[in-house]
A and B are shown apart, each in its own frame.
Chain A
């Protein structure tokens, strides 16, 4: 029976090629536009560290003074921009998590020894020693630094493979020196390819995408050399605005906790820390410390820029209008065949049969529209890739999205066909024959 309906659908669509083409076009445009935006948002909110993300946590304390009425709240959606250095150092030294890292980001100038290279700037990551182990960063050669080197403020750096290649060619630069700003550093490690998207460990009020860090060095080294930090550095009170001030938030503190029991224990530890600090008159807001899971934290930072969300809603609005048009066209197409329906009904077809027949016809149109939609979405993603924004290069469809596109198109056109098919199966057998 199914084969018969498919055959009927095929004949019917062939009979009105222009109408069919228009319906396919409407579905294709709507699905293509929506899937372009859905794909962009999907790749932007993916898990940048699969396997690790469930073990990584971002504690957040709020050391800021009580907000005066009318005062503007700075920070990331209610939480501060980061930790103060004294708090970060205390928690680092307490070492109550499986691993913990304090970090910040900046830009340094590289002054190559080679005569054919002009000086240039690169993004730099300043972190404590467990950064590489905690985030599963792969090394091509050498390795990271030790906690001891953190304390000694050692002049050591890890380069990413691109910068290593640029400076030292095919031989790795391990053991050689590189001049950053006015200081010589010894290269102790070279990373393998590693570029998680979004760059989850960066401080951000929105997601950071693209290519960033090329140089990694001990945080305390960068602090001693007074390297500037990119990102939000908020201070209050009349104290000094130095990195070490207890009244300036800027540092990011992340921990690794391998099981739920440890997560609970760490939350208790943070609560205890807050209590102890109260004794010193700090933390006037008395907000309970929070412990974000990594994916929750990314959500909290609000990865997706507002204009992209708006574009997605626009695309969905467009899809709805497209589908309404398809409903109208299908209604026209199905009811035009009232004569045929009534004959089939008179010959014994049940309402259910008519309904199935038209359902299959809608699905066939949907499938064709889905294929066109795929082409439109590929075109849309191609244009996103050639546009601005660090996320541009990410904009490609994976297999689930391809399948999802066609499925969405079929489901949408089935929904669109629901009303017309229902109207069609209400056609009275006898009445239609009489009128004819």
Chain B
């Protein structure tokens, strides 16, 4: 490292340009830190695993219009037809799916009269739902056939009061009974007790967000008797498109007085759910890169100007015995000093911007480690931007000192 003193003395004569440079670095640092934080949050969100066999599932939502039919009977007939299709390995009728956007959530008290500590999403469907979705059971068992009760939507979801069993996610178990074995314990989604018979590794809620409650969900052994249900089919990944087409045709053949919607693979559902997040990530990435590029442009421009302005003094210094390394070092140190001032301001700005975003857009606090990383990024950027002009300066021959330009 070379003497800082002469650099500071020189900078005193170029306050304006130095200030401009520091301001540029500060703004870039402040914005890029926050943008990087937002990118990280969005990227974590779109990568959340759902817990289901995402590559093997297709879904069809069916809304029956004929109000005279018994829904449970119709679902049975539909499922029989769907299971008969050659490539279908498994099929179930369900209400609600992860990332479907709409679902049912409720409190889960652990005693008959107690308050619920959390809200959890409730999924329910026909027997075989667990296997069809491909959920990973980490403890206990699937529901037995005799545990299923009808949902009984026509009597204000009376089934909820009679449901005898529940399968919950590990996250929900940990929230309800931290550190304990949840099997055999009871929750009270309705008026009665539902024993925990199984624990699944993961099951994402219908509405995933950036919060920490994404995996608080449970399966209840209730037979849907809604007119609006979703058929889930499991098949080999390469057969999904074909199965979807055959299944729609089969359902329409059985009963055409219904609306079939959201005929899609689970992958398409995920893509649709996160479409705006993916766009946001692209946009934020582009602006972060754009900001860094434009800042580098400004730094290089100013450094170039400085080198040009000081060609004579560089020549004199070289004539007085300074090596090329000394000159290179001089400009790099100068850049480092100015960028450091900018980074200090930038860190303050980053915190300020984050506070603003917290109050307007419910963003959490910026983790502190973003600040040193942002600072290092800008130091590196500054050094890279100044490299070409500094090298040019170091190639100024000593003889320049004796010439009058």
A residues contacting B by CB (< 8 A) are: 19, 22, 25-26, 29-30, 33, 109, 111, 118-121, 181-182, 306-307, 310-311, 314-315, 317-318, 320-322, 324-329, 331-333, 335-336, 387-389, 419, 423, 436
Contacts and interface: CB of A to CB of B under 8 A. Distances in A.
Interface stretch (B123-131, B168-176, B207-215, B287-295): B287-295
Contacts of B404: 436
B17 A111 contact: no
A29 B361 contact: no
Chain B interface secondary structure, helix, strand, loop or mixed? helix
A328 B287 contact: no
Given A307-B280, A325-B24, A318 B290 contact: yes
A321 B276 contact: no
B283 interface: yes
B27 interface: yes
Given A119-B257, A314-B287, A328 B20 contact: yes
Given A30-B294, A182-B67, A388-B279, 14 more contacts: A111-B257, A118-B260, A119-B65, A121-B261, A307-B280, A310-B360, A315-B287, A318-B290, A320-B27, A321-B294, A325-B298, A328-B21, A333-B305, A388-B276
Contacts of B297: 22, 25-26, 325, 329
A423 B16 contact: yes
A-B CB proximity, top 7 nearest: A332-B305, A325-B298, A329-B301, A328-B298, A328-B302, A324-B24, A388-B275
Nearest to A334: B305
Nearest to B27: A321
A332 B302 contact: yes
B283 A311 contact: yes
B23 interface: yes
Interface string B258-294: 1111000000000000011001100110010011001
Given A324-B27, A387-B279, A29 B302 contact: no
Given A311-B283, A329-B297, A436-B405, A321 B65 contact: no
A315 B31 CA distance: 11
B258 A119 contact: yes
A175 to B, nearest CB: 25
A181 B66 CA distance: 9
B277 to A, nearest CB: 10
24 contacts: A22-B297, A25-B297, A118-B252, A119-B258, A119-B259, A120-B259, A181-B65, A182-B67, A310-B360, A311-B283, A314-B35, A318-B31, A321-B28, A325-B294, A325-B297, A328-B17, A328-B24, A328-B298, A331-B20, A332-B305, A333-B305, A336-B309, A387-B279, A419-B16
A346 to B, nearest CB: 17
B63 interface: yes
A335 B24 CA distance: 19
A389 B275 CA distance: 10
B304 interface: yes
B302 A109 contact: no
A120 B258 CA distance: 8
A331 B256 CA distance: 73
Counting chain B CB atoms within 10 Å of each CB, the highest count among A33, A324, A325, A423 belongs to A325
Given A109-B65, A317-B27, A335 B309 contact: yes
B127 to A, nearest CB: 29
A132 B302 CA distance: 64
A328 B22 CA distance: 11
Contact of B301 (A33, A118, A328): A328
Nearest to B280: A307
B70 interface: no
Contacts of B308: 332, 336
Interface in B60-90: 63, 65, 67
A182 B284 CA distance: 49
Nearest to A111: B65
Contacts of B65: 109, 111, 119, 181-182
Contacts of B258: 119
A322 B291 CA distance: 8
B279 A19 contact: no
A318 B256 CA distance: 55
A26 B294 contact: yes
Given A331-B17, A388-B275, A325 B301 contact: yes
Contacts of A111: 65, 257
Contact of A109 (B252, B259, B280, B284): B259
A337 B35 CA distance: 38
Contact of A389 (B21, B276, B299, B309): B276
Contact of A306 (B283, B305, B360): B360
Contact of B305 (A120, A326, A336, A389): A336
B63 A321 contact: no
